[in-house]
Amino acid sequence: MSWLTRYLPSRARSNMRKTLTLALIGIAPILSACGPTVTQAGATETTLCRIWGESLPTRSHADTTQTQAEIATAYADFAQACPAFTALIP
């Protein structure tokens, strides 16, 4: 015997079930919007990321500290914008 049937009258249980059901129905879209959303890249996005990834600068032993920082920033920007194409980072 659950606590609902023991302590609440039948009408109160029915109202509580309706209220909880409506609350869950109302909350479901909000909670699902908080989860990660994965969308497949369109043809344009795929092409842009591929071209950008292929044109990323490469590192050299002769790079200055500033150049190294700029290359690291370029790699980070690319990884953030095109996470599915990080294999293109040299």
**pLDDT for res 43:** 85
**pLDDT for res 1:** 47
59 and 30, same structural domain? no
Structural domain harbouring 28: 3-34
54 and 77, same structural domain? yes
| Apex 36 CA angle, 84 and 54, nearest 5 | 15
47 and 30, same structural domain? no
pLDDT digits (tens, 9 = 90+) for 31-72: 555 555 545 558 888 999 999 999 999 999 999 999 999 999
CA pair distance 56, 49, nearest whole angstrom: 11
**What domain count does the chain have?**
2
CA pair distance 37, 15, nearest whole angstrom: 35
Which of the two residues, 24 and 89, has the higher pLDDT score? 89
52 and 72, same structural domain? yes
82 and 55, same structural domain? yes
**pLDDT for res 54:** 94
**Does the pLDDT at position 78 exceed 90?**
yes
82 and 54, same structural domain? yes
**Does the pLDDT at position 25 exceed 90?**
no
50 and 19, same structural domain? no
